[in-house]
Amino acid sequence: MIRVDRRNDKACAIAEALGQHLTPDQVPEGVCVVIGGDGYLLRAIHELGSDPVYLGLNAGYMGFLLNDVHDAGAVAQDIRDGSFDVVGVPRLQMEAVRPDGSLLRGQALNDVVLQRMSGQSSHLRVVVDGVEVVKRLSCDGIIAATALGSTAYSFSAGGPACHPALRLIQLTPICPHAPRLGTITLPMSAVIDVEVHDPARRATRVVTDHIDHAAVTRVTIQDARRDVRVAWLEGRNPTANLVRKLIHP
């Protein structure tokens, strides 16, 4: 299976070059080749679920979830031969309560984000494994990220960038005012509960990997307990990738 972000000119160019060496029926069974940016890969995972192995080819800006394409012929050969490593990466499970009391659920490979919806700051109560971390956090929101997601919104909000091989949940407030809570790094076994104070005045929405689920009053975040399988082409060094794309871009 090959999926291409047709709105992305670079993705179309890579697909055309790859197509000279690889046809869809030559892609190993169960593998989904995704050509686009990180966001396009996240959408593919949202649509197709955990069954395929996702081999992403970078046509975006950062491409932390993707493989860079320097030689389309060599990449095509590696795909045909199955010359890639498959690793399992964790996802977060989100369960939330809407203002009308109904439930919603979602999953995220990168992050689950609570964000204010108006000029009013969000006031959040944060509890981890039954322990109250903060009773009322005045902020623009809070991010629960995996190690992969730590290089995205969480990094922009001041959280540290983590190596993608780590299994963790990184909890980073967005522009915290009071108290000045910093990033907390938690094990994947942690269960995070966030309650929205005064939701009528301080409406707060939840977003999973760029999918907006609108206003909520309470959110529980934990390990989804089913990894997504991502394929890295031979020679890809995740440590060098992290340094090159974040420290020395």
Three-state SS at 220: strand
Q: Which residues contact 97 (CB under 8 A, 6 or more apart)?
A: 103, 216, 217, 218, 219
Please confirm, yes or no, whether 25 is among the known catalytic residues. no
Residue 128, both tokens: 């981890």
Task: Confirm if 111 and 146 have CB atoms less than 8 A apart.
Answer: yes
Catalytic residue among 5, 9, 38, 227: 38
Q: Which positions are annotated as active-site residues?
A: 38
